[in-house]
Structure 1
Amino acid sequence: MFLSIGWDNVVRARDVVAILEYDQAAKTVDPERAENDEADDTAAKSIIVTIDGIYSSPLSVQTLKRRAAVSIPRMIEEDNL
Structure 2
Amino acid sequence: ASSKTCSKCGALKKDLTLRDRVYECPECGLTIDRDLNAAINLRQQIKNVGKAISELMPVELTALLSDLEINGIATSSVEAGSW
Whose relative contact order is higher, 1 or 2, with alpha carbons under 8 Å and at least 6 apart? 1
Higher strand share: 1
TM-score class normalised by the smaller sequence: 0.3 to 0.5
TM-score (norm 1): 0.37
TM-score (norm 2): 0.36
